[in-house]
Chains A and B, each alone.
Chain A
C-alpha cells in the first residue's frame, strides 16, 4: 500500500458512450491544457453505455480548469477527483505482475454540470 505521489492525481470520468469520441473528448480536454497522462484505464459499467475512465494525470495548475471543462462536456456525466490518495496493490497472475490502483473513496470531489459534491 502506498500513498499517492504528490506529483500525480487520479481522476475518474463517467460518461455515456455514443462512439469512441468519448475517449477522444476526455483526452483532448487534458491535452488542450497541457496536462500529461501517466496511464488510462476504462470500461463499460452498465448496459446503457455508461463508461468509467480512470486517468492518472500529472499535477498541473490547469487541472482544475480541465476538470471543470470536462464536467460540462456533452456525453460526460461526472468527473471524480480523488484528492491524490489511493492504494497501490500488486497482483501476481500467470507469472505476470499487475499494479492495481484502488482509490480511497473517502476523499473525493465530484463535478457534474455545475454541481460540485464532496
Chain B
C-alpha cells in the first residue's frame, strides 16, 4: 500500500466524510488516492476557490456539527493560504484538521519550488502541528490529530506530509494502527470539582443581591442550554453572553439580556456593571468581552468560574477577583452547582434586581429600534430575515459592522446556529463557513449575514457553492465602506476618513449571476422578504444585496480601551 492510499484509508476508517481543499503538486498523490473513495461515496472532496475558504469551510463544518472539519492544501502558497483560517479556528477553539502536502524530504531547505516551512509558520497559531517522517506513521498522526483537535480545549491541528511519503510503499505489517488513546506529552485537563469550592460558589450565588450569569463559547461546545436555564430559574438570575456564547441560550428566553462587551447591548453591559456576583461559564473573558478590567475591580464584583481549561482560571485569578471555580466541562460544572444550590436552598427575593434589568431593556429598546427614514435600518433588516427563517436556521457572519449588528439584533434560538469569527475577527469568514455548515447540516437553511467588504474577501467561493450544489444564501449589508473601521476613524480619529470607502461599480447581483447563483437587489424590506423566500424556495446559492447607509453606526460601542461607563449608545450629534 502506498502512503497516499494509507492516508485515504485512515481517513475513511476515522469516519471522515468531507474534505475541503485545493489540489496541487504536493498533495496531488493524496487526491489521486481519493478517486476510489469518492467514486464509492465514502469521502466527498469539495474544491474551494482559495485555501482560506477551505479552512473556513472546515471550521464552519466543525462549529455546525461538533465534529472535526478537514481541509487540505498543497505545499508553499496553498498551505500558506490556510494560515488565516487556522488562526481563526485556534482563537475560537474549533477542531479543524489540515493535511498539507510538503516538498519531498530531499528537497527541503533548498528554496525548492513551492517549499515553505509550514510547521514553523503555523506552530503558534494551531494547537499542534507535526511533519510526518515515515509513511507508516501516517495513521498514527491522523488519529493523534483528531484526538488532540477534539479533546480538552479543542483546536486546529496540522499534519504536514512530504509528498515523497505519498509514493512510498508501506509494508502493511509495519503500519502503526495507533489506538488513539495515548500520546506522550498530551493529556486532557483533569476535572477539579472541589466540594468546598462548589458549596462556596453556590452560597455566593444564593446570597448575592444582583447575581448574573455570563455564558461563553464553552457552553455551546459543551452544550449546556438546559443546565443554564435550570440554574437561572432556580436563582432568578439574568444571563448575558459573549458574542460566541449567543447560541448557548435561546435569545428569546426571558432571563437572557443579550451579548455584552465592546459592541455589546447597553443593557447587558449595564447589568454586568451592576452585578455583585458573576458566574462565568465557558468564557475566557477576553478584552472584547471585558475591555477594561477596572469595570470588574472597581465595582467589587465576585467572580465564579466554570471552565474546562484550569490554566485560564489560574491566569484570570492572578488579576481578577475570582472567589471560587470549577474545572470541568460547562455542563458537568453547572450540574454540580445546581446540586449544591438545591441542597442549600434559594429563597432570596430578586424581584427588584429583575425589575431593574427589565427597565434597562425597555429603556435601550427605545434607542435601538428607531427608524429615521434614511435608508434601511440594520435592526429592521435582521428582524425581516428572522421572521422568515425557521428557528433552527444556521447563520454565519463576516466581520465588521454587520457582525456587530448581528451580535446585538440577531436572535439565536438553538446551539450551533450562530457561527462567527470572535477571537480573530477574520473578514471573509462568513461565506465559506456557511458552505461548511450547510455541508455538515444539509437539513438546515444556512444564511451568511455579511458585509460588502467582508463578503468580497472570499466571495470567489460562491462558485464552489454553485458547482457543488450547496444552497447557501448570502445577505450582503452593502454600505460601500469598511464600516467598522470608518466608524472608528469618524468617532476616535477626528473624522479623518481614509482608505475605507468602496466605489459604486461593484455589482453584487451581477457577481452572483456571474457565478451561476441567484442575485437579488433588495431596495426595501418587502423586496428582502420576497428575495429571501425565493432563494429558499429555489434551494440554490443566492446573494441578496441590501443597501445600508454608509454612516450607519454599530452601536453601542466604547472608546478604544474604554470602560462600560463610557458607552456610546447614541449617534454623536444625533437626536436623543
Residues of A at the B interface (CB closer than 8 Å) are: 15-16, 18-19, 21, 24-25, 28, 32, 48-50, 64-65, 68-69, 71-72, 74-77, 112-116
Contacts and interface: CB of A to CB of B under 8 A. Distances in A.
Interface residues of B, number: 28
Given A18-B130, A114-B189, A116-B314, A72 B123 contact: no
Q: Which of the listed residues A19, A21, A24, A72 has the most CB atoms from chain B within 10 Å of its own CB? A: A72
Contacts of B120: 21, 24
8 closest Cβ pairs, A-B complex? A114-B310, A16-B185, A75-B185, A74-B128, A16-B184, A68-B311, A114-B189, A113-B187
A28 B124 contact: yes
Given A65-B315, A113-B190, A48 B184 contact: yes
B197 to A, nearest CB: 15
A72 B311 contact: yes
A48 B182 CA distance: 14
Contact of B127 (A24, A71, A74, A113): A74
A76 B315 CA distance: 19
A76 B123 contact: no
Contacts of A76: 185
Contacts of B327: 114
A76 to B, nearest CB: 6
A71 B152 CA distance: 14
Given A50-B184, A72-B189, 8 more contacts: A48-B184, A68-B315, A74-B127, A74-B186, A75-B128, A75-B184, A113-B187, A116-B314
Contacts of B185: 15-16, 74-77
Contacts of A71: 311
A48 B21 CA distance: 36
A49 B133 CA distance: 16
Contacts of B129: 21
Contacts of A116: 314
A114 B311 contact: yes
Contacts of A115: 190, 310
Contacts of A64: 315, 318
A19 B123 contact: no
A28 B126 CA distance: 13
Interface in B307-321: 309-311, 314-315, 318
B119 interface: yes
Interface in B261-317: 309-311, 314-315
Interface in B75-133: 119-120, 123-124, 127-131, 133
B138 interface: no
A68 B314 contact: yes
A49 B310 CA distance: 27
Contacts of A24: 120, 123
B201 interface: no
A48 B152 CA distance: 24
A68 B313 CA distance: 10
B309 A72 contact: yes
Q: Which of the listed residues A21, A49, A76 has the most CB atoms from chain B within 10 Å of its own CB? A: A21
A114 B128 CA distance: 18
Given A21-B129, A72-B311, A113-B189, A49 B184 contact: yes
B119 A21 contact: yes
B176 to A, nearest CB: 14
A67 B375 CA distance: 53
Nearest to A115: B190
B309 A114 contact: yes
B190 A32 contact: no
Nearest to B157: A74
Contacts of B153: 72
A72 B310 CA distance: 10
